[in-house]
Amino acid sequence: MSSTTGSVGRAMSLRHSVLGLLALQPATGYELLQKFDNSLSHAWHASHSQIYPELAKLADEGLAEIVGEGPRRSKTYAITDAGREELRRWLSEVEPVRTSRNETAVRAFLVPLLPPEQQRPIWERELAYAEQNVRQLEGYAEVVPTSSPFRTNVDLGLRMAALIRDWIRERLDEVS
Amino acid sequence: MSSTTGSVGRAMSLRHSVLGLLALQPATGYELLQKFDNSLSHAWHASHSQIYPELAKLADEGLAEIVGEGPRRSKTYAITDAGREELRRWLSEVEPVRTSRNETAVRAFLVPLLPPEQQRPIWERELAYAEQNVRQLEGYAEVVPTSSPFRTNVDLGLRMAALIRDWIRERLDEVS
DNA sequence: GCCATCATGTAATTAGTTACATGATTAG
DNA sequence: CTAATCATGTAACTAATTACATGATGGC
């Protein structure tokens, strides 16, 4: 185990997102990919071409380990004690990077530059997306037990999605 | 003007963020840098080492132009008609990329993995940040006239920041 | 047998960060 | 005259996307 590269004190949200998802539950790379698009979609995104190499690196450094191999040559990874400690260290001791990137927000910011008749189809598209987003989160909220420590997370996501949806409705009303 | 690289139909939020800010008002690279950290901070982040080369490229491709040079060898850029058309095309015709990246959200998602006594200092730090964020946006809201088409944007940002602040307060109460 | 989906990987390119580097102006 | 901040740029590196590539399993 453990190669060279130093995980000193830098950002690396991908690494800690993966580690965090594994701390919740052991998973294959393929399953993690889906979690990034579900429970973590508002916070971070990762594609399979990032996830698989990252899992290999985590295993190499002893922060995760392969705990089983299933059909279709799938490998299930679990977090190790060293991985849990690294997660704690990152959450507690590494200064958070506060920058954020969200293309949808950039678009919403810039749409008012266009004349109203060009705005309307854009707000309609955004409303459709926002409504679908709320529905998806509502479905997700239904399966997360009230007792789960992550329940409040889902609730916040849902409230924010609803706020955005209502705001877009107002924008659409304004240009109609 | 106009070099090779094709701005076909891909993401490139940096480019369109810059173009959008220039559409609002001509600016120097240094001024854009500040706008990325103020009005656009919730949506996109860019550092000066990205902004200056991007401005050069935009000018090279005829989407922006230098309209004045000030003290300290500063150059003021403005959007051109071609740039405005490119912005319209991007907003209207390019399929939005819905992925988002926000380390603060990743952290908030993962904190419940830690035992309560380790959570408390983290929620305190997050609350301090969230409160400062609300204050900053309140200050910003004061200077944006009610008549501005971007006013609703500021309002949404403020409402979301307040929602997050209140949510963190609840988390802190839970572990105290 | 074949198609959809599950499942994993690598290579080439582009985007973004961090570090290096320098000069101009203003306030004290 | 000197320190802070304004102002711009490039180089080296790391992160992320897109494209290439392949194989396994289950349902029809």
Residue A61's domain is classified under what CATH number?
Answer: 1.10.10.10
Query: Is A160 a domain residue?
Result: yes
pLDDT of residue B1: 36
Asked if strand C contacts A98 at the CB level, meaning under 7 A, the answer is no
pLDDT > 70: what percent of chain A?
94
Residues A72, A109, single domain; the answer is no
Is residue A116 predicted with pLDDT exceeding 60? yes
Asked if strand D contacts B98 at the CB level, meaning under 7 A, the answer is no
Residues A87, A36, single domain; the answer is yes
Residue A98's closest CA among B36, B65, B14?
A: B36
Query: Is B36 a domain residue?
Result: yes
pLDDT of residue B140: 86
More confident call, B147 vs A11: B147
Residues B120, B75, single domain; the answer is no
If one counts the domains in chain B, the total is 2
In this complex, do B102 and A42 lie within 8 Å of one another by their Cβ atoms? yes
Is residue B9 predicted with pLDDT exceeding 80? no
User: Hey, is the C-beta of A140 within 8 angstroms of any chain B C-beta?
Assistant: no
Which of B33, B61, B93 is a domain's end point? B93
Residues B11, B50, single domain; the answer is yes
Query: Is A98 a domain residue?
Result: no
Residues B122, B42, single domain; the answer is no
pLDDT of residue A140: 85
Which of B93, B115, B141 is a domain's end point? B93
pLDDT of residue B2: 35
pLDDT digits (tens, 9 = 90+) for B107-154: 999 999 999 999 999 999 999 999 999 998 998 898 899 999 889 999
Confidence band (pLDDT; 50, 70, 90) for B58?
very high
Residues A9, A89, single domain; the answer is yes
pLDDT of residue A79: 98
Query: Is A123 a domain residue?
Result: yes
Amino acid at position B122, single letter: I
Which of B39, B65, B93 is a domain's end point? B93
Residues B85, B56, single domain; the answer is yes
Domain that holds residue B107: 103-175
Q: Whole-prediction pTM value?
A: 0.93
Query: Is A155 a domain residue?
Result: yes
pLDDT digits (tens, 9 = 90+) for A136-152: 899 889 989 999 999 99
Confidence band (pLDDT; 50, 70, 90) for B5?
very low
Residues A48, A10, single domain; the answer is yes
Residues A53, A111, single domain; the answer is no
Residues B85, B141, single domain; the answer is no
Give the Cα separation of A70 and A72 in Å (integer): 7
Residues A155, A88, single domain; the answer is no
Is residue A12 predicted with pLDDT exceeding 90? no
pLDDT of residue A10: 64
Is residue A11 predicted with pLDDT exceeding 80? no
pLDDT of residue A2: 36
Tokens of B111: 């904190």
* Burial tier of B75 (Cβ tally within 10 Å: 0-12, 13-18, 19+): middle
Residues A10, A81, single domain; the answer is yes
| Average pLDDT, integer, range B91-109 | 97
Q: Residues 75-94 of chain A: which lie with beta carbon within 7 Å of strand C?
A: 75
Query: Is B41 a domain residue?
Result: yes
3 state SS for A131-152 = HHHHHHHHHHHHHCCCCCCCHH
Provide the positions of strand D that have an atom within 7 A of a protein CB: 6-12, 15-20, 23-26
Residue B97's closest CA among A48, A30, A105?
A: A105
